[in-house]
Amino acid sequence: MSYHYGEDFYSVVAKERLERMRAEAERAALYREARPPKRALRMALGKALMATGRWVLGPVPDWTDDVRRVAPAVGRAAQRAR
């Protein structure tokens, strides 16, 4: 604390307290800026990107139905072989 003759003790204490509060507010602002975006925003962005990808790719071809039916059977056969 830097107290000079003629200054009121309480005004010096108040000034120093204000300086500390300002420094703390600046630190909090820096932390806030560095924090990753909130989950809701990431979720909305991810859903929008997936919808865009589906729109760009177009409808799913018919032959994928056969792949879906065969894939689980292949997985079960591999488990039985172990």
Amino acid at 39: R
Contacts of 10 (CB under 8 A, 6+ apart): none
- Specify the pLDDT at position 61: 72
The DSSP output letter for 58 is: -
More confident residue, 41 or 25: 25
Question: 29-52, pLDDT tens digit by residue?
Answer: 998 888 876 788 889 999 999 999
Give the residue with greater pLDDT, 48 vs 5.
48
pLDDT in tens, 49-77: 999 998 898 887 777 666 656 555 555 55
Look at residue 59 in the predicted model and tell me its pLDDT: 81
